[in-house]
Structure 1
């Protein structure tokens, strides 16, 4: 296998993890519609929130577990474990006979998603040259958003089947890309940084040359190579690392509270609330929303390394604030001249505008920053803790959002989102450092606090 084939295999296999991430997080948007009919619960109920949030809470623990696994077993084996859990969760969901089985499948799903959310960005950041790292991490996000588009199309394709059958196909098909990833893992090397860290220097040197990495990018001090089980305590005792952790966790917190998954998980519910009366109609309009997210994530390829992380995020959050403010105004201000159909279309346009701004910036940047801001010996733990914050925040938003819509309405739900978008903008403006075109070692030497 030549060098180009090896590089292609790495990126293909790693980004399938992103596609799995996207598919399994978005398929619940359509699956809930039929599942609620089959098991007899309301879309705006706490049960809907629990179906989503139980998977997200499990992702929180999956992220914790992966911080340990990726250090002790390696990045490659961690992706292998995640693929197995993906396959199991899809099969269990497809044959679920009661809500307890659904909850169990969502726990398996969450463990795999938590693992993927940590290990894939680490893997890509450690095996990519500094000049292309931003693009490669963004490609992973593109795969994620493509998975969301695929999920929307699959959900719409099967929504016409009876409520006892369609949602089973939606969840079960998630096993296919996971099986493909398992097959590709046989061609995937371990990262040179992890190999060095575990005294496998000869293998590390071979992979460094094969993938065109600079020696400085994989070298580290003897101190950094000594892994310790009390690494969390060491992170908190080091002022610089503690501040880096605050930045990584803060970016993940504001990514979720800026509302992205209120749209990706519940767009069919929101559109149904604001005027698209039929479930099939609301779900059909979710497809262009997912496509918008994918298309504008691709734009992040052009902006994230050209303009930098800070400018991209500031522009992203500013646009999100304007669009969500429009949603809030439209929800609270009743204009008699607007029919319910026109009002629903305006809601859709504003949600589309929100995704146009969110996708290139706040979509990939929190994962990218967390994967590059820590020194090597702290990277897995730092990424895991950032992912834990991401999933915990996701779980809170996922559980509360449908309840707020059911009790208070769409306007109040999105007003809360708007407040957090503004706070996130302030966080990025005052605290986020610029890491564009720097090697991981140069970033590690930056004085951030």
Structure 2
């Protein structure tokens, strides 16, 4: 079967796996406040004296929401084994099949246990895809554009959120259970596209090399980086680096999860884990899962879907600058600026709610999580700072948190290491999805303070511990943490805050490409003569 090597096509197809996560976020956040959902899963019965369904209570709703990230945690861990055995591409296709199965169960759910089981299966799929898509893209991308292509994973998530949100918004005008069954059924479509789209894409050349399939690895590099030229200098250079790295790793280490916690690996393991942990502790997914609660607190009325949709559009649009300039900005400045501004907007929201809000009237809302009411100009300020928070996360920690861990590790453990880091993302996603409703119910506006403190802490942790990885080959990044090995000598003893974004590799790539183009022109000219 013919394979396509355009890196933009490879990235655009594989990041559909990220859209699955986005579909889940918005389908849950848009549906939980609707009457058909509450009546289908009406655990609490009707409101006294009315026919209005109350739906699941806060604890059960937290469990339903958290079921997906709980499954994702397990899926991410398992993906490390799958990807080493079957390859990056095949493991993503397995995730696509699992998503279709989970979506069928969710769509057909008759009760809360069935819904939870379906969401756990969906989560298992998302865990596999979210861990291995960045690995797959990182191993096929040129160093000078790696951040752009891996960052497309986050952009796909934002598109998934926005598309499914407006599908849910349109479906909300349908009577009965079809209002939520239709969106839950439609979310199978991207998984089908992902599975069949990957069949015409190549496998990771680094995974092929790791399994001694050198000819296939070279063919992939020729297809993707050499533009079909088997004598490409760029391909020869990259093959030499991959071979040197594979030989070195085989001579110096075994491959296992245990290795990630040995002295030579523990530092980058902790950095990868905390990159994903901090991305959750920003509170961004809280804004996504429970945005309908927040806008209800601001007096947006019964129709909170439209202002929530504006937030999702901001998320899509503001991710674009990172796709264009993340490799130019570098990873460290991007994450530091994002942490600073997110902390600022969270503090403003906390102050506004602390000063201007008041408790709702008894039985005013279905859930104790809507524990504050704010109105007038302060309410508009809360909405504005919420939008600004999203606009701060979207071009910074959103794409950087997927890009950075995929760059940190040597080939021998990359699949398992990124899987472990991603599992930390899902573990904290699970905890926060379960924690936020009772948090709003019990500590009200102090919930914002809690996340602001996390953003404050992540700023300093990033500054002192996270080295710059932009515009370095994956082999060079691995060498930054090694006392010996390919190219390690120039990185020994440099603290994280003194590492910088060296864009000279772009000139190397351009020189190699231009020299090859020049040779092609000379050959064609001499042929004409």
Residue aligned with 2:199, SS: helix
1 or 2, which has the higher helix percentage?
1
What residue is the counterpart of 1:15 in the other structure?
15
What residue is the counterpart of 1:132 in the other structure?
145
Aligned partner (choices 406, 410, 429) of residue 371 of structure 1: 406
What residue is the counterpart of 2:271 in the other structure?
247
Matched, 1:285 2:342: no
Matched, 1:235 2:257: no
Aligned partner (choices 134, 138, 163) of residue 121 of structure 1: 134
2: CA distance, partners of 1:227 / 1:158 = 57
1: CA distance, partners of 2:189 / 2:299 = 35
CA contact (8 A) 1:227 1:377 kept: no
Aligned partner (choices 221, 244, 259) of residue 246 of structure 2: 221
Aligned partner (choices 445, 455, 470) of residue 421 of structure 1: 455
Deviation at 1:353, TM superposition (A): 0.3
| CA displacement 1:207-231 (0-9 Å, x = unmatched) | 0111115324533232525898861
Larger Rg: 2
| CA displacement 1:325-370 (0-9 Å, x = unmatched) | 111011101289x972544332211111001111111111122111
| CA displacement 1:233-278 (0-9 Å, x = unmatched) | 22222x2311000111111111101101001111112111231220
What residue is the counterpart of 2:219 in the other structure?
206
1: CA distance, partners of 2:447 / 2:57 = 13
Residue aligned with 2:329, SS: coil
Matched, 1:328 2:385: no
What residue is the counterpart of 1:167 in the other structure?
180
Aligned residues: 444
2: CA distance, partners of 1:296 / 1:290 = 10
1: CA distance, partners of 2:184 / 2:379 = 29
TM-score using structure 2 length: 0.80
- Higher relative contact order (Cα pairs below 8 Å, separated by 6+ residues): 1
Change (3 A) 1:333 1:343: same
Q: Which runs of 5+ in 1 are unaligned?
A: none
TM-score using structure 1 length: 0.94
1:349-360 equivalent positions in 2, closer than 5 A: 349-360=384-395
What residue is the counterpart of 1:73 in the other structure?
86
1: CA distance, partners of 2:288 / 2:180 = 17
Residue aligned with 1:363, SS: helix
Moved more, 159-168 or 240-249: 159-168
What residue is the counterpart of 1:402 in the other structure?
437
Matched, 1:40 2:42: yes
Deviation at 1:66, TM superposition (A): 0.1
| CA displacement 1:365-392 (0-9 Å, x = unmatched) | 1221110110111111110110111110
Deviation at 1:9, TM superposition (A): 3.8
Matched, 1:57 2:70: yes
What residue is the counterpart of 2:163 in the other structure?
150
Deviation at 1:134, TM superposition (A): 0.7
Change (3 A) 1:327 1:44: farther
2: CA distance, partners of 1:416 / 1:171 = 33
1: CA distance, partners of 2:182 / 2:357 = 42
2: CA distance, partners of 1:226 / 1:342 = 65
> What RMSD, in angstroms, separates the aligned Cα atoms of the two structures?
2.2
Aligned partner (choices 256, 259, 284) of residue 280 of structure 2: 256
Q: Which runs of 5+ in 2 are unaligned?
A: 44-54, 226-234, 359-372, 482-493, 496-529
| CA displacement 1:371-422 (0-9 Å, x = unmatched) | 011011111111011011111011111100011112332x122111111111
Change (3 A) 1:2 1:109: closer
What residue is the counterpart of 1:310 in the other structure?
332
1:258-277 equivalent positions in 2, closer than 5 A: 258-277=282-301
